[in-house]
C-alpha cells in the first residue's frame, strides 16, 4: 500500500487539499464541491489513518452522499474525536466553514495529536521539539508556526540536525528565503519521503503564512525523525543527572572551604583567649577588657552567622543528595558539623573563662593598688616617727649629765619604750600588708619587700639599742635620786595621747574600697560616728595633759622656780599636742565629706544596677517566649508549609528588629563594668545569659526556616501533597509530645528551656515503631532494624522529623536509579556495553560530555575499539554503588 500525505495550503484562488502518493495524484480542486459526495473524504481518511473504511454507496442521489459522509464521520468519532456542530448535511450542502473545520480536526487527530515532548502535546509539543532541535543554529529562532519559517533556515536546520550529510548549512544565506525553502522541499522529498506540499513563493510573499499548513508539514519531519527522539530523551536524562551531580560537588567544595576558614579562625582565636598572662597596671588590664568587648561585639557575631550558614548549607546539601538518590556527603576529616560544633564549644568555654579571669585580675589589681598606697602611707608615717631615734638611742649623754639630768634621761627612755611598744602594732601592719602584696603577686613586690625588710631591720635595731640604753641607764640609776614627777607624768600621758592622735589621723586619712552603700553605712559611717563619740573623752584627756603642764608652770611660779629648757622626759611639747589636736579636728569634717561622696557614688551604682535589671528582666523572658513560639510554629500542622515559612520569616524580622534592645542592654552593661559593678541583686539575668539566649534564638530561627525549606524541597521534588505532609506531621506529633507534656505550664530558666527545646521534634525508637504500626506497617524485628538503619544511620537513638519525611517519601515516590542511567547510556551507545568519546560529544552538551569523559574509566573488553569508555561503572559511582 502506498502512504498518502495531506498538505492543506492557502492559495491566492482559494483553499486546496492535495492527496498525494508515489503512484498517483488525487487532485481536489474545490473543497466546497469535492467532499460533498463523501467519496474523496473517505479516501482521505483511509490514507491518513492507514485503515480501511466501509464500502461507499455508489449512487449520486443526496441520501447516497449523506450516507457516505456519515460513514466518514462515524469513523472519525470512533477514533475519539468530537465533531461539534458538524453534520453530514452541512458537508453535502458545501458549507465551507464546517468543511474546513472538519479537515483541520482530521489532520490534528491523525498527524499532530500524538506528538508529545516532555509532558506537552500537539502544537506546544511540536513547537518545543522544533525549538530544541534548532537551538544551536545561527539565524534560527522558532517562536511560532508562521513567520519563524519564512526564510527557510528553520526547515534546513531540522534536516541538518538529523541528517547533516544532506545539507551544507554553512552555505545557506538568510537573504535567500526562496532558495532555502526549495532546498528543504527537494531534500525532504528525495531523501526523507516527505512530498512537497508547500509553495516557496506563497510562504515568502504572504505576510503571515498559514499556521496550520506549516504545522502539518513540520509534523511530517517530526514523524520522520521520531527514531532519533529516543536518543534525545536518553541524553536529557543523563544531562539532568550530571547537572545534579555537578551542583552537589560545587556545594561540597563550598562547604569544605567555609568549614576550613571557620576552623582556622577558631584555631587562631583560642590561644589568644587562653593567654592568662596578667598585666601589671590597671590601665593595661582595662585595655584587655576593652579588646575582649570588641571581640564579642565586632569579631564574633559574623562568625556566629558563618557557623549557622555552614550548618544550613550542610543540611541543604544532604537533602539534595537524598532527593537525588545520592549517598550522603562525608566532609573531610575534622570538618564534620559535629567537629565544628565541638571546636565552637571549646571556644566558648575558653571565652567564658577568659572573661572571668579578666574581672578577677581587675579586682586583684584594684586591691593591690589600694594595699600599695596603704603600705606607702604607713611606711611614710613610720619613717617620720623613727627619724633620729637610732641617733638618740646611741647617744652617751648620761656620762656627763647631772643627777637630775640622768633621772630625766631615765624617765625619757621609759616614755620612749612606751612609745616604741605602741608603734609595734604599726610595724606588724606594715609587714602584714607586704605579705599580702606578695601573695597577690604585686608587680613591684621587690621594692615593697626591700622597704619592708629595711623597716623590720631598723625596728630590730631600735629594739636592740633601746635595751642597751636601758641597761646603761639602770647601771648609773643608783647615782641619781631625784626626778621631776610632773614632767614624768606629762610625758607618760602625753605619749599615749599623741600616739592616739597619730592613730586617729591615720584612720581619718585611711583609704577604703567598697562595692555597695550598705557597707558604707553599716561599717565606715558607723565606725566614724563611734570615733566622733570618743572626741569629748579625748578632749578631757588633752585638757588633763595640758593641766599637768599648767601645774608645772604654776608650781614654778609659786615657788619661784625658773624653768629652763624643754621637758627632759619627752620630745612632745604642749604646743605639739595642741597642734596635733587641731589637725585631728580639721580631719573629722573632711572624713565626713569623703564618706558622703562615697555614699553618692554607691547610690549612682545602685541606679545603674536597677536600670540594667529593668531591661534584662524584660529581654530574658522575651527571648524565652520567642523560643517557645518558634517551637510551636515548627510543629504546627495547621496551614501549608509556605504559611509556616511566612510565619517564621515574620518571627525572624521581629527578632532582627529587637536587636536594638540587646545593644542598649550592652551599653548599660558596659557602664556597670566601667563603674566596677560586679553584682546585681535585682535580676537573675547576666549579660552572658542574654548573649547566649540571643545567639541561640538566632540559630534556632535559622535552623527552623532551613528545616521548613527542606520540607518544601522534599514535597516539591517527591510530589507529596500538603494533605500527605500534614498527615505525616500529625502522626509524628502524636508520638512526640512526651517532653512537652511533662512541664506544660512550668516557668523554667532559659538554659533549662533550651535543653528541652533541643529534644522537641524527635522520637525515640519505641515511639517511632508505634507510629509506623499506627500507619499500617507490619513490622518484625529484622524489618524494623532495616528501617532504623535508614532513618538513623548514625545510631543517635532518635528519629528527626526530616528523617521521618524522607522515609515516608522514599516509600511513596520514585527517584532516578543507577539502572535507569545505565539504560539511558545504553540507548546512546546503540545497545553496546561501552560508549565512545564521539558518541558522548555528539549526544550531550559540551560541558557534560567532557565531565563524563574525564571521569569514565576505559572499557576492558576485546570487542571494543581503542578509547572506549565504561559507562556502567560510571553510572554505579553516581549513586555510591562502586569505588569509582
* Rounded distance between C-alpha atoms, residue 99 and residue 16, angstroms: 12
Give the pLDDT confidence of 336-373 residue by residue, as tens digits: 888 888 988 888 888 787 778 777 777 777 777 788 88
pLDDT tens for 805-824 read: 777 776 665 556 778 888 88
| Residue-level pLDDT at 560 | 46
706-738 pLDDT, tens digit per residue, is 888 888 887 777 666 667 667 776 777 676 543
Of 401, 397, 403, 568, nearest to 480 by C-alpha is: 403
Tell me, yes or no, whether 388 and 317 share the same domain.
no
pLDDT (tens digit per residue) in 278-303: 666 777 777 777 877 887 788 888 88
Same domain for 275 and 354, yes or no, is yes
| pLDDT beyond 50 at 45 | yes
CATH at residue 378: 1.20.58.60
In a domain, 800, yes or no: no
User: pLDDT tens-digit profile of 139-173?
Assistant: 899 999 889 898 999 999 988 888 899 999 888 99
DSSP 139: T
Q: Are 411 and 568 in contact (CB under 8 A)?
A: yes
Are 834 and 868 contained in the same domain?
A: yes
Categorize the per-residue pLDDT at 767 as very low, low, confident or very high, splitting at 50, 70 and 90: confident
Query: 542-559, pLDDT tens digit by residue?
Result: 899 888 778 767 755 764
Tell me if 426 is assigned to some domain. Answer: yes
Residues in the chain: 884
375 & 356 share domain: no
Q: Tell the residue number behind the cell numbers 477514533, with chain if given.
A: 79
Give the mean pLDDT of the chain. Answer: 78
Average pLDDT over residues 863-871: 86
Q: pLDDT at position 516, please? A: 64
Highest mean pLDDT range out of 154-163, 345-354, 503-512, 856-865?
154-163
**Domain stops at, among 462, 478, 504:** 462
Examine the pLDDT at 621 and tell me if it is beyond 90. Answer: yes
Q: Is residue 388 part of a domain?
A: yes
Cell 534592645 identifies what position?
661
Cα-Cα-Cα-Cα dihedral of 822, 826, 829, 835, to 10°? 30
Residue 477: what pLDDT?
Answer: 64
Kindly state the cell numbers that stand for 274. 587562653
Residue 525 predicted with pLDDT over 80: no
Residue 411's closest CA among 569, 573, 548?
569
- Residues 56 and 482: their CA atoms lie apart, in Å, by 176
Whether residues 379 and 316 fall in one domain: no
> Is 402 in the same domain as 440?
yes
Q: What is the pLDDT of residue 740?
A: 38
Is 787's pLDDT higher than 60? yes
Under the banding of pLDDT at 50, 70 and 90, the label for residue 94 is confident
* Alpha carbon distance 357, 278 (integer Å): 9
Say whether both 342 and 383 belong to one domain. no
- Residue 460 half-sphere exposure toward CB, CA atoms < 13 A: 5
What is the predicted pLDDT for the residue at 263? 85
Does 437 fall in a domain? yes
How confident is the model at residue 747, as a pLDDT?
A: 33
Q: Does the pLDDT of residue 3 top 60, yes or no? A: no
Is 375 part of a structural domain of the chain?
yes
Residue 514 — pLDDT band, cuts 50, 70, 90? low
Q: What is the CATH number of the domain that holds 849?
A: 1.10.238.10
Looking at the fold, whether 353 and 384 belong to one and the same domain comes out as: no
* pLDDT over 90 percentage in the chain: 5
Comparing 195-209, 326-340, 606-620, 719-733, the range with the smallest average pLDDT is 719-733
| Residue that finishes a domain, picked among 304, 337, 363 | 363
pLDDT in tens, 439-496: 877 777 888 888 888 889 888 988 998 988 888 777 656 643 433 677 778 788 888 9
Q: Is the pLDDT of residue 128 over 60?
A: yes
The parent domain of residue 842 ranges over 818-879
Query: 203-226: per-residue pLDDT in tens?
Result: 889 988 988 888 888 888 887 786
Looking at residues 99-114, what average pLDDT do you find? 69
The pLDDT, as a whole number, for residue 515 is 64
Asked whether residue 288 falls in the same domain as residue 375, the answer is no
Same domain? 432 vs 391: yes
Q: Domain count for the chain, please give it.
A: 3
pLDDT at 782 over 70: yes
Amino acid at each position: 500500500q502506498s502512504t498518502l500525505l495531506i498538505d492543506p495550503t492557502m492559495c491566492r484562488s482559494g483553499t486546496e487539499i492535495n492527496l498525494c502518493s508515489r503512484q498517483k495524484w488525487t487532485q481536489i480542486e474545490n473543497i466546497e464541491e469535492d467532499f460533498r459526495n463523501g467519496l474523496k473524504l473517505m479516501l482521505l481518511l483511509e490514507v491518513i489513518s492507514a485503515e480501511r473504511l466501509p464500502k461507499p454507496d455508489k449512487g449520486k442521489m443526496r441520501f447516497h452522499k449523506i450516507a457516505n459522509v456519515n460513514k466518514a464521520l462515524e469513523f472519525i468519532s470512533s477514533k475519539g474525536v468530537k465533531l461539534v456542530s458538524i453534520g453530514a448535511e452541512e458537508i453535502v450542502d458545501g458549507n465551507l466553514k464546517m468543511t474546513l473545520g472538519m479537515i483541520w480536526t482530521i489532520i490534528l487527530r491523525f498527524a499532530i495529536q500524538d506528538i508529545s515532548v516532555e509532558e506537552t502535546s500537539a502544537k506546544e509539543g511540536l513547537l518545543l521539539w522544533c525549538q530544541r532541535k534548532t537551538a544551536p543554529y545561527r539565524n534560527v529562532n522558532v517562536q511560532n508556526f508562521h513567520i519563524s519559517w519564512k526564510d527557510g533556515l528553520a526547515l534546513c536546520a531540522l534536516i541538518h540536525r538529523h541528517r547533516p550529510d544532506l545539507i551544507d548549512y554553512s552555505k545557506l544565506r538568510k537573504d535567500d528565503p526562496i532558495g532555502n525553502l526549495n532546498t528543504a522541499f527537494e531534500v525532504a522529498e528525495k531523501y526523507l519521503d516527505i512530498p512537497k506540499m508547500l509553495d516557496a513563493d506563497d510562504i515568502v510573499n504572504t505576510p503571515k503564512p498559514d499556521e496550520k499548513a506549516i504545522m502539518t508539514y513540520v509534523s511530517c519531519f517530526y514523524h520522520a525523525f521520531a527514531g532519533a527522539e529516543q536518543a534525545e530523551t536518553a541524553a536529557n536524562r543523563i544531562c539532568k543527572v550530571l547537572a545534579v551531580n555537578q551542583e552537589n560537588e560545587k556545594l561540597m567544595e563550598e562547604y569544605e572551604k567555609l568549614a576550613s576558614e571557620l576552623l582556622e579562625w577558631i584555631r587562631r582565636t583560642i590561644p589568644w583567649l587562653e593567654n592568662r598572662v596578667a598585666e601589671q597596671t590597671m590601665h593595661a588590664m582595662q585595655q584587655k577588657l576593652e579588646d575582649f568587648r570588641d571581640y564579642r561585639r565586632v569579631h564574633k557575631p559574623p562568625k556566629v552567622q558563618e557557623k549557622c550558614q555552614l550548618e544550613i548549607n550542610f543540611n541543604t546539601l544532604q537533602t539534595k543528595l537524598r532527593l537525588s538518590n545520592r549517598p550522603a556527603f562525608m566532609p573531610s576529616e575534622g570538618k564534620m558539623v559535629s567537629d565544628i560544633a565541638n571546636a565552637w564549644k571549646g571556644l566558648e568555654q575558653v571565652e567564658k573563662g577568659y572573661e572571668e579571669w579578666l574581672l578577677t585580675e581587675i579586682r586583684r589589681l584594684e586591691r593591690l593598688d589600694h594595699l600599695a598606697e596603704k603600705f606607702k602611707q604607713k611606711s611614710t608615717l613610720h619613717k617620720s616617727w623613727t627619724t633620729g631615734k637610732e641617733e638618740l638611742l646611741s647617744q652617751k649623754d648620761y656620762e656627763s649629765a647631772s643627777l637630775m639630768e640622768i633621772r630625766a634621761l631615765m624617765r625619757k627612755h621609759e616614755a620612749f619604750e612606751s612609745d616604741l611598744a605602741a608603734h609595734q602594732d604599726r610595724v606588724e601592719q606594715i609587714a602584714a600588708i607586704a605579705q599580702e602584696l606578695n601573695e597577690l603577686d604585686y608587680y613591684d613586690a621587690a621594692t615593697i619587700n626591700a622597704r619592708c625588710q629595711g623597716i623590720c631591720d631598723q625596728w630590730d635595731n631600735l629594739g636592740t639599742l633601746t635595751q642597751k640604753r636601758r641597761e646603761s641607764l639602770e647601771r648609773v640609776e643608783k647615782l641619781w635620786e631625784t626626778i621631776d614627777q610632773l614632767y614624768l607624768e606629762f610625758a607618760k600621758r602625753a605619749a599615749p595621747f599623741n600616739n592616739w592622735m597619730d592613730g586617729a589621723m591615720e584612720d581619718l586619712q585611711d583609704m577604703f574600697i567598697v562595692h555597695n552603700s550598705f557597707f558604707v553605712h553599716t561599717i565606715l559611717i558607723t565606725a566614724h560616728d563611734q570615733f566622733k563619740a570618743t572626741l569629748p573623752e579625748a578632749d578631757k584627756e588633752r585638757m588633763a595633759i595640758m593641766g599637768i603642764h599648767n601645774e608645772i608652770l604654776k608650781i614654778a611660779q609659786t615657788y619661784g622656780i625658773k624653768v629652763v629648757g624643754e621637758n627632759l622626759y619627752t620630745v612632745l611639747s604642749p604646743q605639739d599636742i595642741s597642734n596635733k589636736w587641731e589637725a585631728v579636728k580639721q580631719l573629722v569634717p573632711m572624713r565626713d565629706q569623703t564618706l558622703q561622696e562615697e555614699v553618692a557614688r554607691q547610690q549612682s551604682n545602685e541606679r545603674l544596677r536597677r536600670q540594667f535589671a529593668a531591661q534584662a528582666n524584660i529581654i530574658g523572658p522575651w527571648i524565652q517566649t520567642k523560643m517557645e513560639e518558634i517551637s510551636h510554629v515548627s510543629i504546627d500542622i495547621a496551614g501549608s508549609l509556605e504559611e509556616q515559612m511566612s510565619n517564621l520569616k515574620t518571627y525572624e524580622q521581629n527578632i532582627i528588629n529587637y536587636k536594638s534592645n540587646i545593644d542598649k542592654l550592652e551599653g548599660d552593661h558596659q557602664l556597670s563594668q566601667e563603674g566596677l559593678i560586679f553584682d546585681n541583686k535585682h535580676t537573675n539575668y547576666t549579660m552572658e545569659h542574654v548573649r547566649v539566649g540571643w545567639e541561640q534564638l538566632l540559630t534556632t530561627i535559622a535552623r527552623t526556616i532551613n528545616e521548613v525549606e527542606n520540607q518544601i524541597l522534599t514535597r516539591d521534588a517527591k510530589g507529596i501533597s500538603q494533605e500527605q505532609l500534614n498527615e505525616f506531621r500529625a502522626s509524628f506529633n502524636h508520638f512526640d509530645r512526651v517532653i512537652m507534656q511533662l512541664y506544660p505550664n512550668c516557668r523554667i530558666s532559659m538554659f533549662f528551656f533550651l535543653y528541652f527545646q533541643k529534644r522537641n521534634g524527635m522520637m525515640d525508637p519505641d515511639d517511632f515503631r508505634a507510629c509506623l504500626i499506627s500507619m499500617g506497617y507490619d513490622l518484625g524485628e529484622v524489618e524494623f532494624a532495616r528501617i532504623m538503619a535508614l532513618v538513623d544511620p548514625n545510631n543517635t537513638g532518635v528519629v528527626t522529623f526530616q528523617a521521618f519525611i524522607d522515609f515516608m517519601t522514599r516509600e511513596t515516590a520514585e527517584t532516578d536509579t543507577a539502572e535507569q542511567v545505565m539504560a539511558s547510556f545504553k540507548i546512546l551507545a546503540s545497545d553496546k556495553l561501552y560508549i565512545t568519546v564521539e558518541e558522548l560529544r555528539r549526544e550531550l552538551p559540551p560541558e557534560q560530555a567532557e565531565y563524563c569523559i574525564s571521569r569514565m574509566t576505559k572499557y576492558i573488553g576485546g570487542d571494543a575499539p581503542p578509547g572506549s569508555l565504561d559507562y556502567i561503572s560510571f553510572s554505579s559511582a553516581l549513586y555510591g554503588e562502586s569505588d569509582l
